[in-house]
Structure 1
Amino acid sequence: MRGRHALIDLEPLRASRPFRRLWAGQVLSTFGGQLAFVAVMFQVWDQTSSAAWTGAVGLSQALPLIVLGLFAGAAVDRVERRRFYLLTISGQVVVSALMASQLVIGSVPVGVLLGLVAAQAAFGAAGGPVARTVLPQLLPRELLAGGIALNRIAFQGAMLIGPALGGLIVNAWGVGVCYLIDCLSFLAALYGVLGLPKMRVEAVGRPGLGGIRDGLAFVVSTPVIRGALITDLAAMVLSMPISLFPVINAERFGNDPRTLGLFLTAIAVGGVTASILSGMFTRLPRPGVVMLVGSMGWGIALALFAFSPTPWVALAFLALAGAADTVSVVSRSTIVQLHTPNELLGRVSAAEQIVGQAGPDLGNLRGGLVAQVTSPFIALTSGAVLCIAAVAAVAVTTPGLRTPTTLVPNDRR
């Protein structure tokens, strides 16, 4: 029985048919998104042979999130959420269909492609907050952590398999087939959203900037949510290692491209493993403590990675880091869901989305700049030490994260 409880909690899939249908659609759409990302990167490089242009892909994805994220969160708290969700998914279907049309019309200029990537990211920035508000409407509170873990394993599984398969598809049939699969996967997501009940928000907040300020004020004035977001932001900004992988591989492991590819795979393997065994922590009554331990483990694993004498030892520590990251992310999202009133959940979820997606980008920038001025080893170890120190500071100054979760009124509607 204990061994069974260590595995990922599948009860959310049994308890809620709408969640089961939505989750299946998200699994397929996340996988399709990974194929499309590989295709975009290949197409941009194939047309430009420029690292600056491939870097512009990340910028095209990040800007809509930063510019629109908080406004989308405010809108989610003012409208019927199922209808808003349908609008965002429908927009993604249209954009992915336009990208897939290259099967017929041929490759579009790189500027047009990046415009389509930005449009897709804009719909994703709007859909992210509403996707996070759905779970409390579909699942009992005691199953929320299990539902979040199921969503996480869908993401990690797509990260593990999608890029490699995307490369094979591009090589065999071209980028257009990846875009077509992505479009079909969004149809699966649309099917999942169509199965949701209507979800109205009883208390309507202020429109526009006033509503955004209300949401940010709640984040700042609620210690457990503020501490959770600061913990994640500190861990990602201070110690994100991915931008350092190429130079570390070149300096320490003979610049073998196979080792470089395995670095990212190792993180995904650790994340999938932690998701499969998430029953060990999602059933615990102190998600704040679990989050702090996970974030601390992320920093410790990266510090050990910096001192790894062989590639296999390095991969083991990266897998450990990936597992710790999944523990932290699932617990952070659980804290946000359980401590945020329903009428504020869209705005708070938007803030969480920006922290979770923009933080790693800033962390990779920090690592690259520090490595340029000092060395990759110093960039990696200093980031790991700063991460550990920052998490410890949050743990000391936020006692609410160390106590059992106190639930706020957030009845399912």
Structure 2
Amino acid sequence: MTTDATPRLRAVLANREFRALWFAETQSLVGDQLTVVALSILVFDRTGSALWTAAVYGLTFLPALAGGLGLSQLADIYPRRTVLVATSLLQAVTIGLMALPGMPLAVLCVLIVLAKLAAAPGISAQNSLGREIFTDDQRYLQSQDLRGISSNTAILLGLAGGGLLVTALGTTWALAIDAATYLIGAFVVWAGVRGRPAAGERGAGWFGAIRYVFGQPRLRVLIWLSWLVGFAVIPEGVAVPLVQELGASNQAVGWLLAADPLGFVVGTFLLSRYVSAEGRRRALGLLAIVPLLLLTTFVFRPNLILSMLILGLSGVAGAYFITVGATFITWVPNEIRGAAGGLYRTGLRVVQGIGVAIGGGVAQLLGSAGTAIAVAGAVGVVMAVPIAISWARVRTTGSPGIVTS
């Protein structure tokens, strides 16, 4: 069911079940920012090695790839509230163990991997539950807008004060706080979300989700639209050399990194407040091109202020991304939403990682981070235009089907 009304963001919080999911996720995200900073400080203090610090940080991403591919289907096989509560408790235990003073580095790495593996089915369960709670397209999309605003605000808070807070509290307390957020989240979800039976059956699983997603033209194009973020994320990977190129202090790195998520929050609010769900779907192709087009202006070597403005505006236009993800989940049958959502997020992480790596390589080859960003924007536009044309062609065709095992 779709409605033309565009209710305010706070209207979705009137739903008790969504309010519980949103609160549990948001406070855990804030705690996660502390953990990322705490782990970096902890590992560097013990080893004095930038390589070890980067390697341990990389462990926060790699397990999510494997988990997204294999474990996300648990959100279809078992009741989703149960999956979300169980994974939250497992994360609370693993992060709590990390907080123990003197934990050996090898054990710390294992615990990081376990915590991130547990996160995959939990995220799939949360995303799938959101669509079960809101059957109205507009309300569901607005619920995802609120999640996007909250998650990016948490990132901004982490950039702004995570280091200071961890320094003041110490790494042990920072990790303990994050573990506590998962305990609180598990309780809130169990108390506030209604129990539902498992949506899928054993047998369809992840391969069934792959066959379905890539067999549907509309879902296939949505995947391509999401992969364009691999170009848009490149400025994050070259922020440090870009600041040096601009002749600014290292403090400006945080400002540059904050520009995009701040713009994303603003763009999400504007779209949510003033554009209907259908209007946003119609504009997806155009909105996907704009952020990349803005990045091409780095060829003119803007100064620090203009660079922040460009990245901020790119973030505003990049708010289209929430509509891509919400539409994907909406058009996937409920019984495979967990596995399909895992496929979607895994692809997203892969293209982001590849984008950052290639962007750094191009910056090294060209001797200029700004030029590398401009090249990424230009290549992204070339890729985005045919994808936008494909979206205009397939947007109104087809309909969700039922997957059988």
Whether TM-score is above 0.5 comes out as yes
Establish whether residue 295 from structure 1 lines up as the match of residue 291 from structure 2.
no
TM-superposed CA distance for 1:348, in Å, is 0.9
CA shift in 2, pair 1:275/1:134, >3 Å: same
Q: Tell me which of 123, 127, 131 is aligned to 1:128.
A: 123
Distance 2:275 2:93 in 1: 37
TM-superposed CA distance for 1:373, in Å, is 2.3
2:230: which partner in 1?
236
TM-superposed CA distance for 1:167, in Å, is 1.0
Q: Tell me which of 279, 284, 296 is aligned to 2:277.
A: 284
- Superposed CA deviations along residues 212-269 of structure 1, whole A, max 9, x for unmatched, are 2210011111112111111221331575221211111112x21411211101111121
CA shift in 2, pair 1:402/1:305, >3 Å: farther
Taking only aligned residues, the RMSD between alpha carbons, in angstroms, comes to: 2.3
CA contact (8 A) 1:145 1:334 kept: yes
1:54: which partner in 2?
53
Of the structure 1 ranges 19-28 and 162-171, higher mean CA displacement relative to structure 2 is found in: 162-171
CA shift in 2, pair 1:359/1:17, >3 Å: same
SS in 2 for 1:256: coil
Q: Tell me which of 184, 194, 197 is aligned to 2:194.
A: 197
CA contact (8 A) 2:78 2:199 kept: no
SS in 2 for 1:285: helix
SS in 1 for 2:162: helix
1:260: which partner in 2?
253
- Superposed CA deviations along residues 45-78 of structure 1, whole A, max 9, x for unmatched, are 2222323222213431222122221222222222
CA contact (8 A) 1:45 1:51 kept: yes
Of the structure 1 ranges 211-220 and 186-195, higher mean CA displacement relative to structure 2 is found in: 186-195
TM-superposed CA distance for 1:391, in Å, is 1.4
CA shift in 2, pair 1:281/1:304, >3 Å: farther
CA shift in 2, pair 1:378/1:308, >3 Å: closer
Distance 1:391 1:332 in 2: 14
CA contact (8 A) 2:21 2:189 kept: yes
TM-superposed CA distance for 1:203, in Å, is 4.6
- Superposed CA deviations along residues 358-404 of structure 1, whole A, max 9, x for unmatched, are 3222211111112222233442122111111111111223435554x
Q: Tell me which of 128, 132, 140 is aligned to 1:137.
A: 132
Aligned positions of 1:196-235 closer than 5 A:
196-206=193-203, 211-235=205-229
Distance 1:193 1:400 in 2: 40
CA shift in 2, pair 1:250/1:191, >3 Å: same
Identity percentage of aligned residues:
24
Q: Where in structure 1 are there 5+ consecutive unaligned residues?
A: none
- Superposed CA deviations along residues 133-170 of structure 1, whole A, max 9, x for unmatched, are 11111113231100100111110110011233221122
TM-superposed CA distance for 1:312, in Å, is 0.8
What code does the residue aligned with 1:298 have? P
Aligned positions of 1:79-228 closer than 5 A:
79-101=78-100, 106-142=101-137, 143-194=139-190, 195-206=192-203, 211-228=205-222
What code does the residue aligned with 2:203 have? R
TM-superposed CA distance for 1:406, in Å, is 7.5
What code does the residue aligned with 2:81 have? R
Q: Tell me which of 297, 304, 327 is aligned to 1:304.
A: 297
Of the structure 1 ranges 226-235 and 282-291, higher mean CA displacement relative to structure 2 is found in: 282-291
CA contact (8 A) 2:260 2:312 kept: yes
1:396: which partner in 2?
389
* TM-score when normalising by structure 2: 0.90
TM-superposed CA distance for 1:206, in Å, is 1.1
2:375: which partner in 1?
382
What code does the residue aligned with 1:250 have? Q
CA contact (8 A) 1:72 1:126 kept: yes
CA shift in 2, pair 1:9/1:310, >3 Å: same
Distance 1:133 1:328 in 2: 20
CA shift in 2, pair 1:261/1:203, >3 Å: closer
CA contact (8 A) 1:238 1:386 kept: no
CA shift in 2, pair 1:18/1:239, >3 Å: closer
CA shift in 2, pair 1:266/1:306, >3 Å: farther
CA shift in 2, pair 1:398/1:99, >3 Å: same
- Superposed CA deviations along residues 337-368 of structure 1, whole A, max 9, x for unmatched, are 22111011111100111123332222111111
Distance 1:152 1:85 in 2: 19
CA contact (8 A) 1:26 1:189 kept: yes
